[in-house]
Amino acid sequence: MNNDNNLQDVDIKKVKMGNIDHKKDQVIKEVPLTIFVNNKELLTLMTIPREQKELTIGFLISESIIESIDQIEDLILSKENTIVNVTLNKNIEPDLFKKRTLTSGCGKGITFTKLKDCDHFHLESKKPVVKPDKILKLIKKLESSSILFKKTGGTHTAALADKKDLIFVVEDIGRHNTIDKIIGKSYLNNINLKDKLLLTSGRISSEIIIKALRQSIPIIISRSAPSSAAVKIGIQKNMTLIGFTRGKRFNIYSDNNRISL
């Protein structure tokens, strides 16, 4: 039996070459987190049972529902951390609780953002400049830090980094959740994101790059592929978008000026 609250033991039948073994296995726990804002239900996210506060704050900021954590008067988790009540010192437009868009995320992610909402965002600075070998070392360290993935194969991982090392790593069942957790932890720790690198194990789609763009994160590095919309946004907004970072190689899809080639 495991003592990790994020894991659950299950009985399985392992079939190999016609032979059947009865074994114990571990799967990642998936739990709901229903977010109420100013006493109105906003949405329910499916997540793992940890870092719900960071996830909530990161989601509200990345979706531009709030601009900073200073707008949060109170945040209370209840019902074994499956419900979070957020009280803001600002009013929320009633239509916000109806405006939801299904994303390309695993498990039908939800966003309140549309592409046109980000027209005024544009990255001007070419910093930081990162060496290719450092990018490969950072993604390798991300992989080695994916503890829950190693145990279950059922999570995505994301990390915040500077030019030297990873600052912190998060895991969740959804890649969107990991990005929101990174943003939430950054705000809670007063970390400036304008010169940081965002690493992710998952696919970079338009909603992922928009979350980073809204926080002025200049570089996104993924083990996986970007979508055409993400590449277009990266080119338009001067973001450095790197995909298929594996082994000794990676692909630069937009703005290579931040990479010292």
Give the model confidence (pLDDT) of 28-55 as tens digits: 999 999 999 999 999 999 999 999 999 9
Q: How far apart are the first and last CA of the chain?
A: 49
Return the pLDDT at 223.
96
Instruction: List all residues 6 or more positions away from 159 whose beta carbon is below 8 Å from its beta carbon.
Output: 138, 141, 142, 145, 166, 167, 168, 169, 170, 182, 198, 199, 200
Looking at every residue in the chain, the average pLDDT score rounds to 90
Tell me the CB-side half-sphere exposure of residue 119, using CA atoms within 13 A: 2
Cα 21 to Cα 52: distance, rounded to the nearest angstrom: 37
Structure tokens at 71: 């707008």
Return the pLDDT at 109.
52
Q: pLDDT digits over 159-193, tens only? A: 999 999 999 999 999 999 999 999 999 999 999 99
118 flagged as catalytic:
no
Return the pLDDT at 119.
66
Q: pLDDT digits over 50-78, tens only? A: 999 999 999 999 988 999 999 999 999 99
Average pLDDT over residues 190-207: 95
Q: Residue ranges of the domains in the chain?
A: 31-116, 132-258
**For residues 52 and 77, is the Cβ–Cβ distance under 8 A?**
yes
User: Class of the 31-116 domain?
Assistant: alpha beta
pLDDT band at 117 (very low <50, low <70, confident <90, very high): low
Cα 103 to Cα 81: distance, rounded to the nearest angstrom: 25
**For residues 95 and 164, is the Cβ–Cβ distance under 8 A?**
no
Average pLDDT over residues 217-227: 96
Return the pLDDT at 116.
61
Options 27, 43, 106, 191, the catalytic residue: 106
Beta bridge partners of residue 10, listed in sequence order: 25
Distances (CA, A) of 206 to 24, 36, 92, 181, 187: 39, 26, 25, 18, 22
For the chain, helix, strand, coil in percent to 5 are 30, 35, 35
Cα 172 to Cα 162: distance, rounded to the nearest angstrom: 22
CATH 1.20.1250.20 fits 132-258, yes or no: no
Going through 38-105 in order, the beta strands assigned E by DSSP cover 40-47, 72-78, 83-88, 101-102
Element (H or E) spanning 237, and its range? helix 228-237
User: What is the percent of the chain with per-residue pLDDT over 90, rounded to a whole number?
Assistant: 80
Return the pLDDT at 187.
96
Q: pLDDT digits over 85-101, tens only? A: 999 999 888 777 665 54
Return the pLDDT at 108.
44
Cα 2 to Cα 12: distance, rounded to the nearest angstrom: 16
**For residues 221 and 234, is the Cβ–Cβ distance under 8 A?**
no
Cα 125 to Cα 203: distance, rounded to the nearest angstrom: 25
Give the sign of the dihedral formed by CA 91, CA 97, CA 102, CA 106: positive
Cα 57 to Cα 180: distance, rounded to the nearest angstrom: 8
Average pLDDT over residues 221-243: 95
Return the pLDDT at 106.
45
Instruction: List all residues 6 or more positions away from 156 whose beta carbon is below 8 Å from its beta carbon.
Output: 106, 149, 171, 172, 173, 174, 175, 177, 178, 200, 201, 202
Cα 199 to Cα 144: distance, rounded to the nearest angstrom: 13
